[in-house]
């Protein structure tokens, strides 16, 4: 206690025996030394001056990209994945920070990688859509539009059929993302005229095939009897009919333009047809 008291008294006398300005100057110098020392240590602690330029790894396989980045002292993390069938599987699509960015040594580089396998998407029903709307819908699902062909139909530029690998694809079918979908579109009603085909007595499947030969389309389908298998049901009436009767009783063959529709009436009982139809006036 006595020794400590002497030391304290000596320190007190040392300070108090100095002029006030000398004590203020000494305190100022001490503060300056502490501030400069703090910032010097801060650079050392935070590695503030040690920067690295980010190399480009876009297009590289993800494993090769990791080796390149880690050799530069960076950490690597795969943050996201996408699918693009135009580039290799497991290739780096994007990197963050970008190439040539100056970042601190040890910074984490985030990679977006192309998937090894295409994800599956569900094919929608685009029949009846305009070609523009169908194209937007396909893009939203990651699908691509292929060839477009036309056939006569009153729904001009509307989707009549959707095709995958040249076959009609049903809605709900699972297909790989990036698949190409082709369309058959309506070209509008044709300018020429043809005679209305005789569909009476044909099955519905046969009638549709016959109409397709003339670029005609099925309109309304009316069931005149209960039917469980429409494809094998019989056509008992059609509109327009083959003939029309004028006011003076003359029968004339009706004509129709390609792309127009014929309404079909179906029954599970085959109709009775005349074996020798009367000849119409054309």
The answer to which of 10-24, 51-65, 178-192 has the lowest mean pLDDT is 10-24
At residue 93 the predicted structure's pLDDT band, cuts being 50, 70 and 90, is: very high
Calpha distance 161→39 (Å, rounded): 72
The answer to which of 45-49, 127-131, 149-153, 201-205 has the lowest mean pLDDT is 45-49
Q: Which tens digits make up the pLDDT trace of 222-278?
A: 999 999 999 999 999 999 999 998 888 888 889 998 888 999 999 999 998 765 454
Domains and CATH numbers, the chain: 51-114 (3.30.10.20), 120-186 (3.30.10.20), 194-267 (3.30.10.20)
Mean pLDDT of 89-97: 92
What pTM was estimated for this model as a whole? 0.53
| pLDDT higher than 70, residue 102 | yes
Q: What is the reported pLDDT for 38?
A: 62
| pLDDT higher than 90, residue 162 | yes
Nearest one of 82, 83, 76 to 62, comparing CA atoms: 76
| pLDDT higher than 90, residue 37 | no
Please calculate the CA angle 185-190-196 and round it to the nearest 5 degrees: 110
**237, β-bridge pairs:** 265
At residue 41 the predicted structure's pLDDT band, cuts being 50, 70 and 90, is: low
- The overall average pLDDT reported for the chain is 84
At residue 175 the predicted structure's pLDDT band, cuts being 50, 70 and 90, is: very high
Pairing state of beta strands 108-114 and 75-82? parallel
Q: Which tens digits make up the pLDDT trace of 25-34?
A: 667 777 777 7
Instruction: Return the exposure string of 7-29: e unless at least 16 CB atoms fall within 10 Å of the residue's CB, then b.
Output: eeeeeeeeeeeeeeeeeeeeeee
Q: Which tens digits make up the pLDDT trace of 117-159?
A: 888 999 999 999 999 999 999 999 989 999 999 888 888 889 9
Calpha distance 143→113 (Å, rounded): 19
Q: What is the reported pLDDT for 67?
A: 94
Residue 123's alpha-carbon distances to 7, 129, 158, 159, in angstroms, are 91, 14, 18, 14
């Amino acid at each position: 206690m006595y020794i400590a008291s002497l030391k304290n008294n000596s320190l007190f006398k040392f300070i108090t025996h100095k002029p006030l300005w000398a004590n203020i100057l000494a305190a100022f110098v001490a503060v300056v030394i502490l501030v400069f020392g703090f910032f010097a240590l801060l650079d050392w602690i935070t590695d503030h001056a040690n920067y690295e330029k980010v190399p480009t790894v876009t297009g590289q396989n993800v494993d090769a990209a990791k080796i390149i980045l880690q050799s530069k002292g960076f950490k690597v993390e795969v943050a996201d994945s996408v699918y693009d069938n135009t580039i290799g599987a497991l290739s780096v699509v994007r990197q963050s920070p970008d190439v040539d960015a100056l970042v601190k040594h040890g910074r984490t580089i985030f990679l977006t990688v192309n998937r090894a396998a295409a994800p599956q998407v569900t094919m929608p029903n685009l029949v009846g859509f305009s070609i523009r709307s169908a194209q937007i819908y396909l893009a939203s699902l990651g699908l691509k539009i292929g060839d477009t062909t036309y056939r006569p139909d009153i729904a001009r530029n509307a989707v009549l059929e959707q095709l995958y690998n040249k076959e009609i694809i049903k809605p709900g079918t699972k297909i790989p993302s990036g698949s190409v979908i082709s369309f058959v579109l309506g070209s509008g009603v044709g300018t020429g005229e043809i005679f209305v085909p005789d569909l009476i007595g044909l099955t519905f499947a046969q009638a549709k095939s016959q109409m397709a030969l003339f670029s005609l389309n099925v309109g309304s389908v009316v069931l005149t009897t209960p039917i469980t298998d429409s494809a094998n049901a019989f056509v008992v009436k059609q509109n327009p009919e083959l003939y029309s009767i004028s006011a003076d009783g003359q029968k004339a063959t009706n004509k129709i333009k390609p792309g127009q529709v014929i309404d079909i009436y179906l029954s599970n009982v085959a109709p009775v047809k005349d074996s020798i139809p009367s000849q119409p006036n054309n």
